[in-house]
Structure 1
């Protein structure tokens, strides 16, 4: 597996992966937000290639004067489930965040579908909001300290 920075040519394969994750992990209503995000995002965003194909992506951005990093738009091809794509992406992003010495908290907004995945990386659930992302997809707000991956 190879992880590299996002390139404009990654948009179509990532949108295809996003669509494969609807409705289990993302709501249909979120596709436009992701499609809008890809060409204008200037924050770090990374793509995983597995066997030469785009297999997922994950990024982060800094908030609160650079003291908090927030994970954004993590997704992996559901046909690659169990291959380690999501874990490799999150480890890479956590390592990138560790290069920012001012960061003292890492946050993520996920759903009941993925929150156990984040728990494996020491994220703690703080609250949930029902039907936040789409009907049946709840918001799970989680955080962790920027310790080792």
Structure 2
């Protein structure tokens, strides 16, 4: 089935919230839905959706720091029934390349995630910076990772 990535639109909200809920409690605590709703209402950076056929199956975005040479990934999520299909990797590469194309391209891209998804980011070239047992208010372990957005890394992302 054909997949495409485009900017998030307000009419995607229901599908994004459903995709989020499909990942509760395994990948997100239910309490994070309030943060997602707030981010959708007042985004601090661009958001994107992956569309498969006519269905929104993934969502994520990023924020850029005005002060630091840094981008931060936010809300990378794939609908639970589509895990393991390459959609997450596709969305991650798209967001990294989108940042690389910005006038103020960040040198570093960071993400914080739960311990059970940190391996995905490591396989995609991120390195672990820190582990925080109980680092989230939900009590889950937090893992901070970073990716250096060099010209060589951008070339690898473009090559697929």
Shared fold (TM-score, shorter chain, > 0.5): yes
Q: Which has the higher contact order (CA 8 A, sep 6+)?
A: 1
**Which residue of the partner structure matches residue 137 of structure 1?**
140
1:31 partnered with 2:33: yes
Q: Which sections of structure 2, spanning at least 5 residues, go unmatched?
A: none
Secondary structure of the 1:2 match is strand
- Alignment size in residue pairs: 149
2:19, 2:84 → 1: CA distance? 15
Measured against aligned partners, the alpha-carbon deviations of 1:52-84 in whole angstroms (never above 9, x if no partner) come to 200011111111525101111100001011221
Q: CA deviation at 1:16?
A: 0.8
Instruction: Please list every run of at least 4 consecutive aligned residues from structure 1 whose deviation after the TM superposition is greater than 6 angstroms.
Output: none
Q: Identify the match of residue 118 of structure 1 among 112, 121, 124.
A: 121
Higher strand share goes to which structure?
Answer: 1
CA positional deviation for 1:136: 5.2
Q: Tell me how far apart the structure 2 counterparts of residues 66 and 53 of structure 1 sit (CA, whole Å).
A: 36
Aligned pair partner of 2:106 in 103, 108, 122:
103
Q: Whole-Å Cα distance in 1 between the matches of residues 67 and 8 of structure 2?
A: 24
Rounded Cα–Cα distance in structure 1 between residues aligned with 2:124 and 2:18: 27
SS of corresponding position for 1:114: helix
Partner Cα distance (1:3, 1:28) in 2: 26
What is the RMSD computed on CA atoms of the aligned residues? 1.5
Does the 8 A contact of 1:58 with 1:75 survive in 2?
yes
- Give the structure with the larger helix fraction: 2
Q: Does 2:9 correspond to 1:11? A: no
